[in-house]
Amino acid sequence: MHFVTFILKNLTRRPTRTALTVLGLSVSVGSMIALLGISENFRDSMSDTFEKRGVDLVGVASGAADQLSSEVDEAIVDKVREMPEVAGVDAALVELSEMTLREPRDENDTPPSSQVLVQAWLPDNFGYDDLEIRAGRKLSADDAGQFQCMVGYKFSENNNKGVGDTITILRHKFTIVGVFKSFNLFENGCILTLLKEYQELSGRKQKVTGFSLRVKKTSPNPDAEVESVRQKILALTDKDGKPYRVSIERPQKYLDNAVHLKITKAMAWIVSFVALFIGVISMLNTMVMSVLERTQEIGILRAVGWPRGRIIRMVLGEALFLGMAAALVGAVGAIVITHLLAQSPKVNGFIEGGIAPWVVVQGFAITIVIGVLGGAYPAFRAARLLPTEAIRHD
Amino acid sequence: MIDGPATHLLFALNVCKTYPDGAVHALNGVTLGVHEAEHVAITGPSGCGKSTLLNLLGVLDRPDSGEVYFRGEALSTCRDLDRFRAQQIGFVFQSFFLLPTLTAKENVQVPMFEGLPRSARERAKKADELLELVGMAKRANHRPMQLSVGERQRIALARALANDPALLLADEPTGNLDSENAVRVLDLLTTLQKERRLALLVVTHSVEVAERADRVVRMKDGKVLDDGTATKLHQGQAMARG
């Protein structure tokens, strides 16, 4: 018999209690893995987008918590585009807008409306280049003034809208000319239209929420070139000679400073911490009960020569096995749940199925810590038992 | 008769034990020696200190004063009493105390984690040999609840022999057995004691158990009343009866 066999046999003694403890703990661990996985997916999706599009610098209004609350004068985009060191500029007005999917049937009919993420792009944005067109075509400068749009494939699937269908945004009817798939999580669930007409509709003429750009790299030190362009943009002034209220950062720094990502991650950790605390209490309760029930047996083990250290290893081992079983169940549950959520129209492409392996590894590591924390007190309590008193215990 | 620690396997010298409330002197200056391969029975009324003495001799507890020696070495100076207990002493209890989740064979292996068999295979092999020795080889994969009380005590006996101890301590080993099973277990215990040249110290109320011993120690009120052969014990009892 191996020592591990002995530990496992102790766990199978009360199968219902063991199963319930694993289940309870797996909910805690699974919640943590799912929440952290989703928050990481947000960041990874944005990071991937910047990387795959070759973005060197990102500009938003200085002090803006996120791109949705940012507003930058479009004039700076034109000035940046004219810089000889700049290879390309993407500018966008991104906002949540009211949308209706059908026309009113009569004067008294009010079609149900919902919020949708609208991205209004310049027709020459380099972001169009990597959109995979699944139906129809891309927007072009020729579509200007015709209120036409493209939709992400998630939006199309969730709302059953395709090429030729219409959507009403800000009380204007837009015709879908293309359905696309992007490697950006959010773009797949959004409506993409042209910047100028959307600026007019939303009352934000000559304003964008942000821009990104590629820098021409010709020297052996591309970082220096990017930094030089960054400094030049920061030095730009408006027609009154005042500097623009704009923050220009490398994509990773922009993501590190993005308040909405920080809040998402902080919320995920707060909820995870509460869930994990409940997990520790659950583990503690189970192990204390288990040790109390086996007081006499522990006395026997001490009598036959088991040192305190082996008793501690036995109880901690049981807690660790419970934790690892819970981590396994929780990880599988978290992956399944995020996949199911990603399919749900309710989240409309804002959640990506799949969890980064390192988040799962993190979940396992934290569960081992839970196992040690939840098992430590009962283990030391068991080890402190005097053999003579423990054997007499009934 | 009592020479000293050097000539005994186990020697308790003037040991005293008072329980924490201070009201009961469980042992009051007991001196007792057990030689190698000697079979000693300790008898006496309930509460006379027999089990307390057994706990001190088995290093499950420490005396308040006095000293216990093993092969002439004072156990108070022993650094690892758990290892000492695992390798030198086997215990047999009245209530068997087998672990319910383990099979007979696994129960026998429990002390071996602190003994000489280092691998799981060695432990299993040793357990098979011991189960054969106590006539329980065919019941090796049964759990305690699937065994009769007599069988359980034989498994407990095999467990006590797991690390080839020099000393076997038995606390009322037949106390929970019917007369038929009691005789079987006693026969097995005495046979093994002689074959393996074990020192056997049995705490018992039973005359049948005591009279099999080479020596019988009678205790009363935490003290040794007399210490002699089983024959002497019988003579003493006969004289007392009148």
Whole-number Å distance between alpha carbons of B113 and B109: 7
User: How much is the average pLDDT of A373-379?
Assistant: 88
A302 and B82 within 8 Å at the Cβ level: the answer is yes
Closest partner CB to B82 (pick from A3, A5, A307):
A307
Burial readout A68-101 (b: 16 or more C-beta within 10 A, e: otherwise): eebebbbebbebbeebeebebbbbbbbbebebbb
SS3 A173: strand
B109 and A13 within 8 Å at the Cβ level: the answer is no
Residue B174, pLDDT > 80, answer yes
B61 and A9 within 8 Å at the Cβ level: the answer is no
- Predicted local distance difference test score (pLDDT) of residue A387: 85
Q: Is A9 on the interface with B (CB under 8 A)?
A: yes
User: How much is the average pLDDT of A255-271?
Assistant: 83
Q: Which of residues 179-218 of B touch A (CB under 8 A)?
A: none
- Identify the domain containing residue B108 by its residue range: 5-241
Residue from B101, B123, B203 to probe the interface with A (highest A Cβ count within 10 Å): B101
- Predicted local distance difference test score (pLDDT) of residue A352: 72
Summarised one tens digit per residue, pLDDT across range A173-208 is 999 999 999 988 788 889 999 999 999 999 999 999
CA A5 to chain centroid: 40
* Percentage helix, strand, coil for chain B under 3-state DSSP, each rounded to 5: 40, 25, 35
Summarised one tens digit per residue, pLDDT across range B111-125 is 999 877 678 999 999
Least confident of A7-11, A74-78, A102-106, B53-57: A102-106
- Predicted local distance difference test score (pLDDT) of residue B239: 47
- Predicted local distance difference test score (pLDDT) of residue A114: 84
Task: Give strand pairing partners of B39.
Answer: B200
Residue A121, pLDDT > 50, answer yes
Closest partner CB to B114 (pick from A300, A306, A387):
A306
Residue B235, pLDDT > 80, answer no
SS3 B159: helix
Confidence band (pLDDT; 50, 70, 90) for A343?
confident
Higher-pLDDT residue of B122 and A14 is B122
- Predicted local distance difference test score (pLDDT) of residue A147: 93
Summarised one tens digit per residue, pLDDT across range A217-251 is 888 888 999 999 999 999 999 888 888 888 999 99
Task: Identify all chain A residues contacting B63, using CB atoms and an 8 Å cutoff.
Answer: none
Residue A329, pLDDT > 90, answer yes
Give the residue from chain A lying closest to B105, CA to CA.
Answer: A1
Whole-number Å distance between alpha carbons of A295 and A314: 13
Q: Is B19 on the interface with A (CB under 8 A)?
A: no
Confidence band (pLDDT; 50, 70, 90) for B63?
very high
Confidence band (pLDDT; 50, 70, 90) for B232?
low
> How many domains would you assign to chain B?
1
Inter-chain CB pairs, A–B, below 8 Å: 74
Confidence band (pLDDT; 50, 70, 90) for A394?
low
Summarised one tens digit per residue, pLDDT across range B134-169 is 999 999 999 999 999 999 999 999 999 999 999 999
Summarised one tens digit per residue, pLDDT across range A134-175 is 999 999 999 988 999 999 998 998 889 999 999 999 889 999
Burial readout B62-89 (b: 16 or more C-beta within 10 A, e: otherwise): ebeebebbbeeeebeeeeeebebbbbbb
CATH number at residue B12: 3.40.50.300
A1 and B120 within 8 Å at the Cβ level: the answer is yes
Distance from CA of B82 to the nearest CA of A (A): 5
| Element of type H or E holding A156 | helix A153-159
Distance from CA of A289 to the nearest CA of B (A): 17
**What ipTM was estimated for this complex?**
0.89
Strands A166-169 and A172-181: antiparallel
Residue B185, pLDDT > 80, answer yes
Whole-number Å distance between alpha carbons of B5 and B28: 19
Residue B140 has, within 13 A of its CA and on its CB side, a CA count of 16
Summarised one tens digit per residue, pLDDT across range B194-229 is 999 999 999 998 888 898 999 999 999 999 988 886
Distance from CA of A284 to the nearest CA of B (A): 22
Confidence band (pLDDT; 50, 70, 90) for B234?
low
B109 and A1 within 8 Å at the Cβ level: the answer is yes
Domain-by-domain residue ranges, chain A?
Answer: 3-45+262-392, 57-249
List of E strands, chain A: 57-61, 72-73, 86-100, 113-121, 132-136, 148-152, 166-169, 172-181, 191-194, 207-208, 210-215, 246-249
* Percentage helix, strand, coil for chain A under 3-state DSSP, each rounded to 5: 55, 20, 25
A3 and B97 within 8 Å at the Cβ level: the answer is no
- Predicted local distance difference test score (pLDDT) of residue B240: 47
Task: Identify all chain A residues contacting B109, using CB atoms and an 8 Å cutoff.
Answer: 1
Task: Identify all chain A residues contacting B86, using CB atoms and an 8 Å cutoff.
Answer: 304-306
- Predicted local distance difference test score (pLDDT) of residue A358: 87
Q: Is B147 on the interface with A (CB under 8 A)?
A: no
B86 and A9 within 8 Å at the Cβ level: the answer is no
Closest partner CB to B60 (pick from A306, A307, A388):
A388
- Predicted local distance difference test score (pLDDT) of residue B154: 93
SS3 for A19-59 is HHHHHHHHHHHHHHHHHHHHHHHHHHHHHHHHHHCCCCEEE
Q: Which of residues 80-99 of B touch A (CB under 8 A)?
A: 80, 82-87, 89, 91, 93, 97, 99
Would you say B203 and B50 are in contact if contact means Cβ atoms under 8 Å apart? yes
Would you say A184 and A134 are in contact if contact means Cβ atoms under 8 Å apart? no
Whole-number Å distance between alpha carbons of A98 and A90: 24
Residue from B99, B112, B122, B123 to probe the interface with A (highest A Cβ count within 10 Å): B99
Would you say A380 and A288 are in contact if contact means Cβ atoms under 8 Å apart? no
A303 and B61 within 8 Å at the Cβ level: the answer is no
Confidence band (pLDDT; 50, 70, 90) for A341?
confident
Distance from CA of B91 to the nearest CA of A (A): 7
Any residues with CB less than 8 A from the CB of B44 and at least 6 apart, and which?
B50, B218, B219, B220, B225
Whole-number Å distance between alpha carbons of A98 and A392: 74
> Closest Cα to residue B155, out of B125, B118, B110?
B110
> Closest Cα to residue A24, out of A277, A269, A279?
A279
Q: What is the mean pLDDT of chain B?
A: 88
Largest CA distance in chain B: 60
- Predicted local distance difference test score (pLDDT) of residue A280: 85
Summarised one tens digit per residue, pLDDT across range B77-95 is 988 999 999 999 999 998 8
Higher-pLDDT residue of A260 and A327 is A327
Q: Look at the pTM and tell me if it is higher than 0.80.
A: no
Residue A50, token pair as written in the block: 């910047």
Higher-pLDDT residue of A312 and B241 is A312
